[in-house]
Amino acid sequence: MDFPIDQVIHSFILNNKENAVATTIENLQDAFAGESQANQKYRAFAKKAEQDGLPNIARLFRTAAEAERIHAEGHLKALEGVCSTVENLQAAMDGETYEYTKMYPPMLSQAEADGHKAKRMFNYALQAEEEHAKLYALALEAAKQGKDLEVTEFYLCPVCGRIEFGKPTEACPVCGTKPDKFVLI
């Protein structure tokens, strides 16, 4: 019997709590994770519906994704996870550093060992997260001095997620995407 992934995840969470009563903080953490995942999933579903020529269904998915973002942000605020900009930059830099140093390397190794197509995106993410950490470090130093970044244009590689300050003039060093394909954010 096939089960929707949401039910599998929910069942896993419930079964692994060993029937312990969850604290409000644990409930907020679970809710934040679930709402965040739903937001991203519905955004991906919207892209697919758009590709399938179903613009109104795509709009429904995008609207629901925004609702899930609102829920997630509310949970994060209740967790007191939104702090000063300096603290937020430090948390972002720490998170990106964790991802490229600890999280993605074993995932990439396993995907390579398995010959799984996930190795491509794991590799892209690993390299892009390292760059993100460096950019956050620059922003953190500016914020500690009470300054903003001097760059006004941020470009995103639509394939691997690398961020460039200013308009790129060369292909993406992570995935090779041509500079004219980068998206101005």
The enclosing domain of 174 has a CATH number of 2.20.28.10
**What confidence category does residue 1 fall into, taking pLDDT thresholds of 50, 70 and 90?**
very low
Residue 101: DSSP 8-state:
I
Q: Which domain holds residue 157?
A: 151-185
pLDDT of residue 155: 97
Residues 72 and 14 in one domain: yes
Residues 27 and 50 in one domain: yes
Is residue 55 a part of any domain in this protein?
yes
Residues 50 and 74 in one domain: yes
Four-residue CA torsion sign, 27, 33, 35, 41: negative
Residues 59 and 107 in one domain: no
Q: Which two tokens stand for residue 68?
A: 């899930």
pLDDT of residue 3: 45
Is residue 52 a part of any domain in this protein?
yes
In total, how many domains does the chain have? Answer: 3
Supply the mean pLDDT for the chain: 92
Backbone angles phi, psi at 161, to 5 degrees: 90, 10
Residue pointed to by tokens 């609102």: 70
Model-level pTM? 0.82
Residues 10 and 74 in one domain: yes
Mean pLDDT of 91-108: 97
Radius of gyration of the chain (CA): 19
Residues 184 and 119 in one domain: no
Mean pLDDT of 78-93: 97
Is residue 146 a part of any domain in this protein?
no
How confident is the model over 100-157, as pLDDT tens digits? 999 999 999 999 999 999 999 999 999 999 999 999 999 999 999 999 999 999 999 9
